[in-house]
Amino acid sequence: MKLLTWALATFHTTVFVLIIVLFAYSGGGLGGALGGLNTFAGLGLFVALWATTYLTTSRALKGLDLIASARARAGYPIRALRWGAANGMSFLVILGLVAVIGGIASTRPEQVVSGILIPALFISPIALVVSAAFGGAVGAFFGMIDLALFAVAGLTGEDAEPTV
Amino acid sequence: MELDPNVVHVAIRWLHVAAMATAFGGAVSVLALSTRPGDVSAGAIVGVAIRYEWIFWAAAGVLAMTGIGNLAAFGAALLGPATNWGVTLLLKLGSVLTLVVLSLPRTLAVARMSAGPIAPSVMIAVRNLYGATTGAFAAILAMAIWLAHG
């Protein structure tokens, strides 16, 4: 586990969630939305997003030394886009599994196939494409923000000594 | 058996306060070390700062997660953004967002310091970075107390 991976993954997760909360609260819909969400489900979803973001960030940074290498930083936005898309799909799979299992638990056994599984089968390919596009866009956005913050930290010039 | 919602909310609030105390106390400790290092070498202080960065990001994630849990405890009774309380909450959320965004360059700067030879002059940068972090945490803490008891 590397500090940079841990910092970037947590940075992306917290900033993403804080922006949603800020917009939802400004629009007046936060109280109702959170009130309808089970506390453990809310905490679980945050932890799931944190975990998928950590895993995808770790893959995006594999073999790159963003602190020491300007060349690595130049290639980072494309990886951020690609692994952002993977993160969007991973999180959707978790959401989908929770929704399907919850649906099965609260549906009569004879209605599970027609009421839950068949609709899920039809919706899932479209949802995966949408989540990949959304995740890719968010990943690309964070890739650019990260590079701007790297510049703030003075990491803009030529390659330096490799870091651990 | 169903858990009492009040117990869950108290546990979430406990975790929120503990994460805040850890992050704030850690920043104060690194600031104090860099301001009056005594016999402690610059390398050792940067080493402590690196440890703090690991803890800071863990605390940041826990604070965001439990902060939303605290807001959820209000449910539909959450006061709107046009009230005094709401304006303070928006100010607090904006301050937290700013602190998190500006903490990434701090982490990068400290990681960069630890990668090369550490000159004693580095302590000025460490002092400034953790002085700013401590100040930001103190301001956010004041807003949090006002929101809870104001």
Domain boundaries, chain A: 3-152
Q: Summarize the confidence of residues A64-72 as an average pLDDT.
A: 87
User: What residues in B contact A164, CB-CB < 8 Å?
Assistant: 115
Q: Do B104 and A153 touch (CB under 8 A)?
A: yes
For chain A, give the percent of residues with pLDDT over 90.
59
Minimum-distance CB partner of A35 among B8, B75, B114? B75
pLDDT higher than 70, residue A161 = no
List pLDDT tens digits, range B113-150.
Answer: 998 888 878 899 999 999 999 999 999 999 999 998 86
User: In whole angstroms, how far apart are CA A26 and each of A65, B14, B97?
Assistant: 39, 27, 15
Q: What count of residues does chain A have?
A: 164
Q: Do B76 and A31 touch (CB under 8 A)?
A: yes
Residue B5 backbone phi and psi in degrees, to 5: -55, -30
pLDDT higher than 70, residue A13 = yes
Q: Do A26 and B90 touch (CB under 8 A)?
A: yes
pLDDT at A93: 95
Assess contact for A21 and B71: CB atoms under 8 A: yes
Q: Which long-range contacts (CB under 8 A, 24 or more apart) does B78-85 make?
A: B78/A30, B78/A31, B78/A34, B78/A35, B80/A28, B81/A25, B81/A26, B81/A28, B85/B147, B85/B150
Q: Summarize the confidence of residues A60-89 as an average pLDDT.
A: 92
For chain B, give the percent of residues with pLDDT over 90.
77
List pLDDT tens digits, range B60-102.
Answer: 999 999 999 888 888 788 898 999 999 999 999 999 999 999 9
pLDDT higher than 60, residue A46 = yes
**Residue of chain B whose alpha carbon sits nearest to that of A11:** B100
Q: Summarize the confidence of residues A98-114 as an average pLDDT.
A: 85
pLDDT at B11: 93
Minimum-distance CB partner of B60 among A14, A28, A146? A14
CA dist A135 and B4 (Å) reads: 36
R_g of chain B, CA atoms, integer Å: 18
User: In whole angstroms, how far apart are CA A109 and each of A106, A116, A119?
Assistant: 9, 10, 16
Preferred mutation among B8, B57, B91, B140 to probe A, highest tally of A CBs within 10 A: B57
Nearest C-alpha of chain A: how many angstroms from B35? 21
Assign 3-class secondary structure to chain A.
CCHHHHHHHHHHHHHHHHHHHHHHHHCCCHHHHHHCCCHHHHHHHHHHHHHHHHHHHHHHCCCCCCCCCHHHHHHHHHHHHHHHHHHHHHHHHHHHHHHHHHHHHCCCHHHHHHHHHHHHHHHHHHHHHHHHHHHHHHHHHHHHHHHHHHHHCCCCCCCCCCCC
Nearest C-alpha of chain B: how many angstroms from A29? 9
Is the ipTM higher than 0.95? The answer is: no
pLDDT higher than 50, residue A164 = no
